């Protein structure tokens, strides 16, 4: 299943700075054969018989190029995680409306996966590539570090997994953008928000203040505020969690959260009705 593009009588360059230049395909595959066998062995062990039949794989070969050129995800696994060399895993999702394949039936979702050696952030050798309808199999290859995700393009740097901002929710994006514009220039940088994420649950479960306010669109926003006294590097630190209330159930979905040292910014969220912590029920954004 591995492939390499080769020009006649030309050296095969995989990674020239690291000496991976081969005179012919035999030398190329001899070098990578051990790693190919290891990856194929993992694939065979994880694959379920009800997945796309292997004898049909060649019908999906045309999906390799769009997977490499416009992937939905790229995962990087360091040396030793899958084989004794770093690998990059490209994943793309296709459905029945995609023009790249005539073999996807209505209501089907097909994944195409390519396990690659990369040089200069480009796939220069493909250990294995395959189609699959089995999300559990695809999850096996979603290991290591997520280097790229199409779904996260446009998501603010301060988004935290589990909140609506991380999912590019329109309401969350608008409120978050307004908060960013109001922040002091000397406040905690947006790029550092993730390092304070451990205070999100603590703030929801042990808020010092809870404020409920109706916005102009009829949304009921509830903000949890907690002053953080135990941070090793920051003083006068607050953590705020902004949620959307479902009035019938009195439950709340997370919109976004953030740390701040700007007391005037905190004051802007001290509007509406001041609640007691035991009056609300919490749930995730999902």
Chain-wide mean pLDDT for the chain? 87
Note the pLDDT of residue 213. 93
- Does this model's pTM top 0.75? My answer is no
225 close to 246: Cβ distance less than 8 angstroms: no
Confidence of residue 6 (pLDDT cuts 50, 70, 90): very low
Stretch 239-251: mean pLDDT, rounded?
A: 87
Note the pLDDT of residue 98. 62
DSSP bridge partners of 131: 112
Provide the 3-class DSSP secondary structure of residue 23.
coil
Percent of the chain with pLDDT over 90: 67
Stretch 150-165: mean pLDDT, rounded?
A: 82
Distance CA 193, CA 242 (A): 14
For 252-281, write each residue's pLDDT tens digit.
899 999 999 999 999 999 999 998 655 555
Greatest distance between any 2 Cα atoms in the chain: 77
CB atoms < 10 A from the CB of 222, how many? 23
Note the pLDDT of residue 268. 94
Q: How many CA atoms lie within 13 A of 123 on its CB side?
A: 29
Note the pLDDT of residue 5. 47
Q: Which of 7-11, 197-201, 214-218 has the lowest mean pLDDT?
A: 7-11
Give, as one character, the DSSP assignment of residue 60: G
Instruction: Using the predicted structure, report yes or no on whether residue 245 has a pLDDT greater than 80.
Output: yes
Note the pLDDT of residue 277. 53
DSSP bridge partners of 227: 238
Stretch 176-197: mean pLDDT, rounded?
A: 92
Stretch 190-211: mean pLDDT, rounded?
A: 93
Distance CA 273, CA 267 (A): 13
Q: Where are the alpha helices (DSSP H) in the chain?
A: 25-46, 64-69, 135-141, 170-182, 199-205, 263-268
Note the pLDDT of residue 231. 82
Note the pLDDT of residue 286. 42
Sequence length of the chain is: 286
111 close to 91: Cβ distance less than 8 angstroms: yes
Instruction: Using the predicted structure, report yes or no on whether residue 63 has a pLDDT greater than 80.
Output: yes
Note the pLDDT of residue 36. 96
Name the residue with tokens 């190919």. 36
Percent of the chain with pLDDT over 70: 89
Stretch 28-52: mean pLDDT, rounded?
A: 95
User: What is the separation of C-alpha 102 from the centre of its chain, rounded to a whole number of angstroms?
Assistant: 29
Confidence of residue 156 (pLDDT cuts 50, 70, 90): confident
* Burial class (CB within 10 angstroms; exposed 0-12, middle 13-18, buried 19+) of 226: buried
């Amino acid at each position: 299943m591995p492939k390499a593009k080769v020009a006649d009588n030309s050296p095969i360059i995989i990674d020239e700075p690291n000496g991976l230049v081969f005179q012919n395909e035999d030398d190329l595959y001899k070098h990578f054969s051990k790693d190919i066998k290891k990856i194929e062995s993992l694939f065979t062990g994880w694959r379920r018989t009800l997945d796309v039949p292997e004898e049909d794989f060649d019908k999906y070969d045309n999906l390799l190029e769009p997977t490499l050129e416009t992937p939905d995800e790229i995962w990087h696994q360091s040396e030793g995680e899958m084989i004794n060399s770093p690998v990059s895993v490209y994943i793309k999702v296709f459905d029945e409306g995609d023009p790249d394949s005539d073999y996807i039936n209505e209501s089907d979702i097909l994944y195409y996966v390519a396990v690659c050696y990369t040089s200069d952030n480009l796939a220069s050798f493909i250990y294995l590539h395959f189609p699959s309808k089995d999300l559990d199999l695809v999850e096996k290859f979603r290991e290591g570090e997520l280097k790229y995700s199409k779904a996260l393009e446009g998501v603010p740097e301060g988004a935290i997994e589990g909140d609506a901002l991380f999912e590019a929710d329109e309401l969350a994006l608008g409120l978050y953008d307004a908060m960013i514009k109001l922040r002091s220039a000397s406040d905690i940088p947006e790029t550092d928000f993730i390092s304070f994420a451990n205070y999100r649950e603590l703030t929801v479960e042990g808020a010092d203040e809870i404020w409920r306010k109706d916005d102009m669109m009829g949304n009921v926003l509830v903000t949890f505020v907690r002053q953080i006294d135990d941070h090793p590097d920051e003083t006068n630190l607050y953590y705020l969690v902004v949620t959307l209330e479902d009035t019938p159930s009195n439950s709340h979905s997370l919109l976004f959260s953030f740390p701040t040292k700007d007391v005037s910014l905190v004051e802007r969220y001290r509007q509406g009705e001041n609640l007691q912590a035991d009056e609300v029920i919490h749930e995730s954004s999902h």
